[in-house]
Amino acid sequence: MSDITFNNPNLPIGIFDSGVGGLSVVREIFQQLPDEEIVYFGDTGRYPYGTRSVELVTKLALENAALLMDFNIKMLVVACNTASSVAMEALSKRIPIPALGVVRPGAYAAARATRNAKIGIIGTNATVNSGSYQKVLKSLSPNIECVARPCPLFVSLAEEGWTIGPVAKMIAETYLADLRVSGIDTLILGCTHYPLLKPVIANTMGEGVTLIDSAEATVAQMSRIMDDAEGLRNDSKKPEHKFLVSDAPDRFKEVGERFLSQKIPDVFKVALDTR
């Protein structure tokens, strides 16, 4: 992305996810890049993506990108690990602005963090089955050994707010027991819902395992890209964020406020152009 230019750095950043999970990326933007303005689209009407085919996820991703392009965004962030795993090439060919997914930044961060070249990956079935993190990690170093496990119930725990307590602990133990004894020293949280479960995942894995938050790594890379290309927002006006969904705005607002630990302004239901 060395040839990236931003004609107007004060335009918003567009972000999409299959639902609320991508708000973990928004939370990181609020922390790392508080002056930036965002337009977030949660495709709650067609959620979940993690069990869909590659062809359908790619089609949905292109439709989501087209919707966000109508808001004159300067950069597109695919805050969905599933879509990032299968649709980035198609998106890069179709949209005229920089597009960044969450897989590559997370993999790079894990490769830098590991001490013994043994890295675990947890995510949805689609993300794990795609092998996307494994491919990036192997391209960085053929000596890296990957162990991947799908953890689909973590999504429900995050959305219901059951991130601590006996239920979360039991499910984490069930999913992660074999990873804990696999010898990994680094674990990629390969779903944007999973950062809400960091404490229980960390406790289950033990002190010797470094957790990699793909949302955190993605926003750090966004910051570097925009800084290098003079794309950081410099408007003195307070950013005005927009939150859009394809269904159930009230539910999105309720769950989303748990993700962000703050109030969300109006959430608007929009119709997608699926032609």
Closest by CA position to 196, among listed 135, 261, 243: 261
Q: Is 151 tagged catalytic? A: no
What's the chain's length in residues? 275
The answer to whether the beta carbons of residues 119 and 145 sit under 8 Å apart is: yes
Of 119, 191, 217, 244, the catalytic one is: 191
Rounded-to-integer distance, Cα 10 and Cα 75, Å: 11
Angle separating helix axes 132-140 and 103-113, nearest 10 degrees:
50
Distance of CA 130 to the CA centre of its chain: 16
Amino acid making up residue 87 = A
Q: Is 146 tagged catalytic? A: no
Of 11, 15, 39, 80, the catalytic one is: 80
Rounded-to-integer distance, Cα 42 and Cα 106, Å: 21
Rounded-to-integer distance, Cα 182 and Cα 26, Å: 33
Residues taking part in catalysis: 80, 191
